[in-house]
Amino acid sequence: MDWVLITKFGNNPIGAIGFVGDDAVAIAAFYDDRDGNQDGKVSLLERFAAKISIVRLDGLSVTEVAMQARVDPDVLERDPSFAQVASQIYLNFAKGLILDGIYAAYFARGVSMTGKGIAQLVTSSTVKGFVVRKGFEGVVKDAFYNVTGR
């Protein structure tokens, strides 16, 4: 397998595209999805920001590598169809962001209030109530994403 380094802003490599012959078959990102400043370390602040974010960052780095590679002459020279693959990766990532936004805007508050009500009916303990509420929210969120295909 041959690898082509993908750089961003000069000589700063962000990932690589793996080739078998002239077909792009793998995308490797050098940075964690949560590493916002791409310094190679996920700081406590970056970890916290990713945890409380209303959108999931899963696949951000791979998407960034693919989108940068779609305009890289070394990649397009070997596999001209990679631009379409990169566009599809981007659309899949964007679909997830849109679904996260829809859930946060239209469902999250109502689900949280309903979960709080259910927790108050089930138990009077604050800790148990928190566990019940978060469990309820998790089940509803998983059901939403299963129905929408994320």
pLDDT of 64 reads 95
Q: Distance of alpha carbon 47 from its chain centroid, rounded? A: 14
Integer angstrom CA distances of residue 31 from 12, 51, 63, 66, 90: 12, 17, 12, 13, 17
- Mean pLDDT, range 48-58, rounded to an integer: 85
Q: Tokens 């998790």: give the residue.
A: 138
24 with 82: CB under 8 angstroms?
yes
pLDDT of 86 reads 96
User: 69-113 pLDDT, tens per residue?
Assistant: 999 999 999 999 999 999 999 999 999 899 988 998 999 899 999
CA distance 19 to 38: 25
pLDDT of 145 reads 85
CA distance 67 to 76: 12
CA distance 16 to 2: 10
pLDDT tier for residue 40 given thresholds of 50, 70 and 90: confident
The token pair at 8 is 């961003």
Q: Which helix (H) or strand (E) holds 120?
A: helix 108-122
Q: What is the pTM of this model?
A: 0.77
